[in-house]
Amino acid sequence: FILIIFLFLNSNSFSQQDQSSTITMQQFKEKLKNDKQIIVLDVRTEEEEAGPLGKIEKAINIPIQVLEQRINELEPYKDKEITVICRTQNRSAMAVNILLKKGYKAKYVLGGMTAFKEE
């Protein structure tokens, strides 16, 4: 419930986030194919990862609900860009905001796993 309220109150800031924080699905798929060093963070729950949209093989799974408590797990990647994905892009946008505030470089995938599965 609190997460829903947070999303509602901050929806304007996420929709107005500048494009330097985003990556298109086409760009993401190219990076997956060509960049062996890509760091992908999936902020969906483990249940969602096991669901019909599937998961990206090399993705690190840290659900958005516990990202701030587990952010130290991403410390080895602090000097690299982290590409964040979720189901649609709402939670990944939130995650990017958290990561940027903590000094990480991050972008979220427009359309999320829904778009990934469609293309």
Q: Which residues are catalytic?
A: 86
d(CA 73, CA 38): 16
Taking each helix axis from N to C end, the angle separating 90-101 and 2-15, rounded to the nearest 10 degrees, works out to 80
Other CB atoms within 10 Å distance of the CB of residue 79: 8
Tallying the residues shown for the chain, one arrives at: 119
Q: Is the dihedral of CA 58, 4, 72, 14 positive or negative?
A: positive
Tokens of 37: 């060093």
